[in-house]
Amino acid sequence: MIPRFSLPGLELARFRRATITRLALVAVVVVPLIYGGLYLWSNSDPVSRLSNLQAAVVNSDTAATVTGVDGSPRTVQAGQDLVTELTGPDAAAGFSWHATSEARAAKGLADGEYAAVLRIPKGFSAALASTGGDAPQQAKLSVTTDDAENYILGQVTNTIATTIRTKVAAGATTDYLENVYVAFSKVHDSLGQAADGAGQLKDGATRAGEGADSLVVGLGDLGTGAQRLATGTGQLRTGAADLASGTARLATGADSAAAGAGQLSTGLGRLRTATKDLPSQTAQLSDGAAQVAHGAGQVSAGAAAVSAAADRLLPAVSAAQDLGPLVDQLLTQTRALAAANPGDANLAQAVTTLQEAQQALADGSAAGVATQVRQQVGALATGAQQLSDGASAVSGGAKQLADAAPALQQGIASAADGAATLATGTRTLATGAHSAADGAAALSAGAARVDDGATSLATGTTRAQTGASQLADGTKQLADGAGTLQTQLADGSQQVPDYGEEGTARAGVVASPVAADRVKENAVPRYSDGLAPLFVPVALWVGGMVTYMVLRAVSQRALASTASSYRAAVAGWVPGALLGVAQAVVLWLVLFLAVGIASPNPVATVLFAALVAVVFTAIHQCLNALLGGVGRLVALVLLVLQLTSAGGTYPVGTSPDFFGGLHPFLPMSYAVDGLRHLVTGAPAGPVWTDVAVLLGFGVLALGVTVLACHRRRTWTVAELHPSLSL
């Protein structure tokens, strides 16, 4: 919204007081719309509305008979076909055509009921049919219009007539040509298929030859292998025989082993029985030895005691020595008594004992005996000790023996069991060995037969190899032959033309060899879209003129104030520019939504039109500020000059040089150019140039307005008192 207390707001507020002035503002906004909108609406799409015009078609043609390609007769009624096409529901031939009589058509053309009359002559079908025969004739159509009714319509009708004529001519010959092209295409296709078949045969034979080659090589390998197999089976035969004899010997050996093992088992059984009491006997031995050791110990102790006693005997012997003289005296006295009493025996006995004692004492034998006794007792003690020790050792050994005896007995039992098992095993072995011997014999016989077979195989493969070589040579020759066939078939097919799917199109081309396509870059769909870039700027120019008929170009109060001239100029321009923007927006909204003009860049189009409006208002303000009422007259002259030089309808180059020379110096040229680019969707580059140039015009206009304001700040007496006639 425009702020209430801004200059444009205040300028427009002047119109708020009364309804009529408010309506004046609305009128200012819609003037360009009335001007541009109505014109563009009325011209929106005249060509598509041609069907609103009536036209007559008069058919004087009669049907003709022609012979078709396949020899069958065919009826041609081209005149009737054309009438049906023109008057049919899908007809797109410009006008609304009506089949009428000659008289009615002539009357209708004269009184304006019909815009054009199309006449189909009598021999039309026959002439068309003759194009495929020996004496072709030209078929003629005639179109009549009346320039007294409308000149432009005459031009349009000529175009329509040309289109109809071309269509008819093309349709007549297309049928004929299509058949020719189809026949060619069929021959071409068949030859092509034959060539393809030969090609496939060639490929197959080539592959078969390659297979035969491989077969020869493979059979060679097979022969070598068979030879080696025969050698191998020979060895197998010998080996199998050896195996048979070996296994026979093994069977015999196994029998002997079985017998031995039986005997071993029996022996061990007996040993087991014999050693059954060994543990108890060795235990008794151990006990006995212990008792011996004990006894010997006691002997030793006794001997030791004797030895000690002997030691004590020695002093007694010494004392006896000392008794000698006493004994000698005693003996003399006893003897003298025994001599005095020769009859007393005791005395005689005493004399003898005394003599012996004296003897004993005299030779000293008593001491020797004691020594010997001691020595012998010592020896006895030593011997007893040795005996005791020996008995103890015997006892220890017997004990160990007794301990070991059960294990020994156990081992013997195990050995006996093992021997029994061994005996059983060897018997089984013997049985097996016999079976093996039988098998080996059978193997030997089989190996002999295999060997015979392998030898036959080696012989057979050699013969197969020879045959395969012959096969390889034969298939190569077949491949060569098939290849030659294919090449020649293909060459033949190439020489026959193929039109395939395009046969119809080609028939169309030959029937109507020249056709012109109209290519329009950035095409606009309708006449009004093409005119809009001219009429929108024209409308906005008129809108700017009207704006400054209603608004004041510059406020007198502003000029009389102490504010700068620049402020006064802008204060007069901004309200006009805002109205201009409103004009542009309203105009385009109606053009887009109601008239149906389209633009690929609607926003840019409206913005550009708004810029045009703003620049135009600046120019109008400038003219008004500078020249007053005369400025409006100048604006009107400028409008006419710009209409003719902006190149809005025909390119400006088609106008006399005067307008071409004027073209670059008038703002509307750039407004038209920019809008044309935006409405058609052409590249936007030139639009920026147009924007820049228009901005330049705007700035120039504002600058001149400022100068005009500056000048108008001085009053004259004439201005002050306009009523005074000066």
Among positions 5-24, residues that touch another protein (CB under 8 A) are 5-7, 9-10, 13-18, 21
State in angstroms the smallest separation of the CB of 156 from another protein. Answer: 55
φ/ψ of 120, rounded to 5, equals: -105, 115
> What CA–CA distance (Å, rounded) separates 724 from 726?
6
Q: In what side-by-side order are the strands of the sheet with 142-145?
A: 96-99, 54-59, 116-120, 142-145
Among positions 223-242, residues that touch another protein (CB under 8 A) are none
Among positions 687-706, residues that touch another protein (CB under 8 A) are none
State in angstroms the smallest separation of the CB of 619 from another protein. Answer: 21
Query: Does the footprint of another protein cover residue 568 (CB under 8 A)?
Result: yes
State in angstroms the smallest separation of the CB of 703 from another protein. Answer: 15
Q: With respect to another protein, which residue has the nearer C-beta, 24 or 662?
A: 24
Q: With respect to another protein, which residue has the nearer C-beta, 7 or 472?
A: 7
| Cα–Cα distance list, 265 to 376, 410, 418 (Å) | 60, 15, 8
Q: With respect to another protein, which residue has the nearer C-beta, 9 or 295?
A: 9
Q: Do residues 202 and 416 lie in contact, with contact meaning Cβ atoms separated by under 8 Å?
A: no
Selected range binding another protein among 96-104, 183-191, 526-534, 567-575, rule: CB under 8 A: 567-575
Query: Does the footprint of another protein cover residue 581 (CB under 8 A)?
Result: no
Query: Does the footprint of another protein cover residue 720 (CB under 8 A)?
Result: yes
Q: Which two tokens stand for residue 312?
A: 């004590």
State in angstroms the smallest separation of the CB of 10 from another protein. Answer: 5
| Cα–Cα distance list, 139 to 86, 97, 166, 630 (Å) | 18, 21, 11, 66
Identify the residue among 20, 148, 603, 726 touching another protein (CB under 8 A). Answer: 726
Selected range binding another protein among 213-221, 452-460, 566-574, 690-698, rule: CB under 8 A: 566-574
> What CA–CA distance (Å, rounded) separates 575 from 556?
15
- Residues near another protein (CB under 8 A), total: 42
> What CA–CA distance (Å, rounded) separates 667 from 646?
9
Q: Cα torsion for 386, 391, 393, 397, to the nearest 10°? A: 160
Q: What is the 3-state secondary structure (H, E, C) of 394-405?
A: HHHHHHHHHHHH
Identify the residue among 558, 578, 582, 613 touching another protein (CB under 8 A). Answer: 558
Q: Do residues 59 and 49 lie in contact, with contact meaning Cβ atoms separated by under 8 Å?
A: no
Selected range binding another protein among 382-390, 423-431, 686-694, 711-719, rule: CB under 8 A: 711-719
Query: Does the footprint of another protein cover residue 1 (CB under 8 A)?
Result: no
Selected range binding another protein among 76-84, 89-97, 531-539, 564-572, rule: CB under 8 A: 564-572
Query: Does the footprint of another protein cover residue 571 (CB under 8 A)?
Result: yes
- How does DSSP classify residue 139? -
Beta bridge partners of 144: 117
What secondary structure does DSSP assign to 16-32, as a single string? SSSHHHHHHHHHHHHHH
Identify the residue among 336, 560, 633, 636 touching another protein (CB under 8 A). Answer: 560
Classify residue 204 by burial, with Cβ atoms within 10 Å: 0-12, 13-18, 19+: middle
Identify the residue among 399, 476, 567, 632 touching another protein (CB under 8 A). Answer: 567
> What CA–CA distance (Å, rounded) separates 177 from 513?
13
Query: Does the footprint of another protein cover residue 489 (CB under 8 A)?
Result: no
> What CA–CA distance (Å, rounded) separates 398 from 289?
8
State in angstroms the smallest separation of the CB of 712 from another protein. Answer: 10
State in angstroms the smallest separation of the CB of 623 from another protein. Answer: 23
Q: Do residues 246 and 449 lie in contact, with contact meaning Cβ atoms separated by under 8 Å?
A: no
Binding site for another protein (CB under 8 A): 3-7, 9-10, 13-18, 21, 555-564, 566-568, 570-571, 574, 710, 713-721, 724, 726
